[in-house]
Homo-oligomer: A and B are copies of this chain.
Amino acid sequence: MGKLLIVGTIAFDAIETPFGKTGKILGGAATFIGMAASQFEVESAIVSVVGDDLPEEYLQLLRDKNIDLSGIEIVKGGKTFFWKGKYRNDLNTRDTLVTELNTLADFNPLVPENFKDADVVMLGNLHPDIQMSVIDQMSERPKLIVLDTMNFWMDHTWDELMAVIAKIDVITINDEEARQLTHEHSLVKAASKIQAMGPKYVVIKKGEHGALLFHHDHIFFAPALPIKEVFDPTGAGDTFAGGFVGYLAETKNITFENLKNAVIHGSNLASFCVEKFGTDRMLHLQKKEVNDRLLQFKELTQFNIELKQPQTL
């Protein structure tokens, strides 16, 4: 069993989709990453910050998934990070209505002593200085450091972001962010440029259009499972990342072949996440459902073409 350290937000989300809306519910990158990773045989911990307005029952939901919460700072009198957003009809675009950083504004991450030797570190989308601070606190170089980031940090903290990118093994970003980071429209060229910045592996997330894994000249692609109705995309990217790092922390096998499997596991779990609001679907996810859908992924993508010998004239 491997050790997985997750740094990221624990948040209140308020979500509106064409199918309904929620009040303040449990959200945040670390929440989705942790829940997805809990599907694997891992010892995991979250480093985060919240206010004391976060209901104890929300923390208990994470503890119930065997996640160590000793790295979560609870600020007395503080308010938890809050995000409110509304999805448009195609569910591919969303408008942010409210962002209140609250306690996140002064987040000073503290890695628990017994996770300073974690095998895998997942740096959720946060200020690159916070991500760097977590790397610096590790007592030994983790087997794998995975970074998630977004365009906001490219716009406002370019140098700090570049410093972190130079130190990590895998970056997960979406297609538009990969283009912004490299000024290349072709994702093949973008992935090549990003590898030159540091990470040996590049995962480009394309939402409903799947995800690409790049490593040197090798490319692997996993589609998103076509489902009848996407209900709420919130947390899908983080759930993908959680499945990806959870599987790698369990197997401790860092090869391109095994990273392919990690991408499939991430895509598989993300396909559940979008079926209900927030964490609702992930909370009660059963192993059998997960395995059944992995079989669907196989049916969706596997084929058997026998290659004929080229004709020689």
- A residues whose Cβ falls under 8 Å from a Cβ of B: 89-90, 185-189, 206, 209-210, 212, 218-221, 223, 226-230, 257, 260-261, 264-265, 286-288, 291, 294-295, 298-305, 307-308, 310-311
Count of this chain's copies in the oligomeric assembly: 2
B212, A209: Cβ atoms closer than 8 Å: no
Task: Report the bound CA distance from A39 to B189 in whole Å.
Answer: 30
Contacts beyond the supplied A189-B228, A291-B308: 18 A-B pairs with Cβ under 8 Å? A186-B229, A186-B230, A188-B226, A188-B227, A189-B229, A209-B209, A210-B210, A220-B300, A220-B301, A223-B223, A257-B304, A261-B304, A286-B310, A287-B310, A287-B311, A288-B310, A294-B305, A295-B307
A303, B261: Cβ atoms closer than 8 Å: yes
Task: Report the bound CA distance from A273 to B99 in whole Å.
Answer: 46
- Nearest Cβ on chain B to A287's Cβ, whole angstroms: 4
Measured CB to CB, the nearest residue on chain B to A206 is B209
| Known contacts A209-B209, A287-B311; is-contact A300 B228 (Cβ 8 Å) | no
- Nearest Cβ on chain B to A266's Cβ, whole angstroms: 12
Residues of B within 8 A of A310 (CB): 286-288, 291
Residues of B within 8 A of A188 (CB): 226-228
Residues of B within 8 A of A311 (CB): 287
- Nearest Cβ on chain B to A222's Cβ, whole angstroms: 8
Task: Report the bound CA distance from A307 to B295 in whole Å.
Answer: 9
A301, B299: Cβ atoms closer than 8 Å: no
- Nearest Cβ on chain B to A64's Cβ, whole angstroms: 15
B90, A185: Cβ atoms closer than 8 Å: yes
- Nearest Cβ on chain B to A244's Cβ, whole angstroms: 13
A264, B223: Cβ atoms closer than 8 Å: no
| Known contacts A186-B229, A209-B209; is-contact A218 B301 (Cβ 8 Å) | no
Task: Report the bound CA distance from A303 to B230 in whole Å.
Answer: 26
A186, B228: Cβ atoms closer than 8 Å: yes
| Known contacts A209-B209, A288-B310; is-contact A303 B220 (Cβ 8 Å) | yes
Measured CB to CB, the nearest residue on chain B to A91 is B185
Measured CB to CB, the nearest residue on chain B to A18 is B185
Task: Report the bound CA distance from A218 to B304 in whole Å.
Answer: 16
Residues of B within 8 A of A261 (CB): 303-305
Residues of B within 8 A of A226 (CB): 187-188, 212, 219, 221
A300, B221: Cβ atoms closer than 8 Å: yes
Measured CB to CB, the nearest residue on chain B to A189 is B228
Measured CB to CB, the nearest residue on chain B to A300 is B221
Task: Report the bound CA distance from A301 to B219 in whole Å.
Answer: 9
Measured CB to CB, the nearest residue on chain B to A247 is B305
